[in-house]
């Protein structure tokens, strides 16, 4: 017979229910958004089944676009299509503003596809704590197959070279960045099954963090004179990351 609710955790009746010693494992088997690293407490998660209404869009050039797309999703029926025109000065950003989080390790995670003319794809957390701005960003450079982190000088420095990722849909690659705004340092980065410890790397902290707010972003850049389309699914923000 089916087993499930109510959830008694590790203790309680066992005749018609199972003790759930790993809720993350049960969630994954039921189709959880996160597969490779289920640490942290979810602040926000979407697989875009209800559209783009919970997120924001930031583009600066005609032709740049972020829209809901039926097809190519990693999970469910919908994902987000991000298009960037052939101009290195343009930007195409999917963003989520969220409540000021617990002072802890924060993370942003996405599942994405790649494109032949993609220059880079990045995930970013920006926070204002009332005194300082915290700006942590990691990007995957398609041209060099390197993972790069923004440093205190606002420059992207490579910290790992990875195998080339398969291009095209569906959304099949996972990128997660974890930062600690208590220390001003990155914590780790995950690209699919690979994990890279980054506690030795400080992020960008330009100051001027008033008023308090927080935002997570996904951004793409195209090679010069090229158009690029990338698909993004499973946009997740977590806090209290160990």
What is the mean predicted confidence (pLDDT) over 171-192?
94
| Same domain as 89, residue 204 | yes
| Same domain as 5, residue 65 | no
| Same domain as 102, residue 26 | no
What angle (nearest 5°) sits at the alpha carbon of residue 146, between those of residues 144 and 149? Answer: 130
Range of the domain at 101: 36-241
Q: In terms of pLDDT, which residue wins out, 33 or 59?
A: 59
| Same domain as 88, residue 22 | no
227: tokens are 């158009």
Task: Identify the CA nearest to 82 among candidates 43, 110, 40.
Answer: 110
What is the mean predicted confidence (pLDDT) over 178-202?
95
Does 109 have pLDDT greater than 70? yes
| Same domain as 106, residue 72 | yes
pLDDT of residue 191: 96
pLDDT digits (tens, 9 = 90+) for 149-170: 999 999 999 999 999 999 988 8
Mean pLDDT of the chain: 85
Q: How far apart are CA 190 and CA 170, in angstroms?
A: 19
pLDDT of residue 33: 56
pLDDT of residue 32: 55
pLDDT of residue 35: 67
| Same domain as 50, residue 6 | no
| Same domain as 102, residue 69 | yes
pLDDT digits (tens, 9 = 90+) for 66-83: 999 998 888 888 999 999
What is the mean predicted confidence (pLDDT) over 6-26?
52
Please state, for a pLDDT cut of 90, what percent of the chain lies above it.
Answer: 59
What is the mean predicted confidence (pLDDT) over 123-138?
92
| Same domain as 219, residue 177 | yes
Number of domains in the chain: 2
pLDDT of residue 3: 47
What is the mean predicted confidence (pLDDT) over 38-54?
90
| Same domain as 158, residue 45 | yes
Strands 56-59 and 105-114: unpaired
pLDDT of residue 12: 52
Does the predicted model carry a pTM greater than 0.75?
yes
What CATH number is given to the structural domain containing 221?
A: 2.60.120.200
pLDDT band at 60 (very low <50, low <70, confident <90, very high): confident
| Same domain as 116, residue 131 | yes
pLDDT of residue 14: 47
| Same domain as 97, residue 11 | no
| Same domain as 132, residue 13 | no
Residues 6+ apart with CB under 8 A from 50: none
């Amino acid at each position: 017979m089916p087993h499930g609710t109510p959830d008694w955790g590790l203790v309680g009746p066992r005749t018609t229910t199972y003790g759930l010693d790993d809720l993350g494992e049960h969630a994954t088997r039921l189709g959880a958004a996160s597969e490779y690293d289920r640490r942290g407490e979810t602040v926000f998660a979407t697989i875009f089944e209800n559209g783009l209404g919970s997120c924001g869009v930031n583009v600066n050039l005609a032709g740049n676009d972020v829209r809901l797309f039926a097809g190519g999703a990693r999970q469910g029926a919908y994902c987000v299509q991000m298009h960037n025109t052939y101009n290195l000065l343009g930007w195409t950003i999917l963003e989520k503003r969220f409540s000021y989080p617990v002072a802890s390790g924060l993370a942003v995670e996405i599942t994405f596809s790649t494109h032949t003319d993609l220059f880079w794809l990045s995930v970013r957390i920006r926070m204002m704590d009332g005194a300082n701005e915290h700006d942590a960003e990691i990007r995957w450079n398609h041209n060099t197959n390197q993972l790069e982190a923004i440093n205190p000088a606002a420059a992207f420095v490579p910290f790992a070279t990875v195998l080339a990722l398969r291009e095209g849909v569906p959304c099949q690659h996972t990128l997660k960045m974890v930062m600690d705004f208590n220390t001003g340092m990155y914590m780790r980065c995950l690209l699919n099954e690979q994990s890279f410890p980054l506690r030795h790397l400080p992020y960008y902290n330009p100051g001027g963090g008033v008023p308090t707010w927080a935002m997570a972003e996904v951004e793409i850049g195209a090679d010069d004179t090229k158009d690029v389309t990338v698909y993004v699914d499973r946009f997740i923000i977590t806090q209290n990351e160990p």
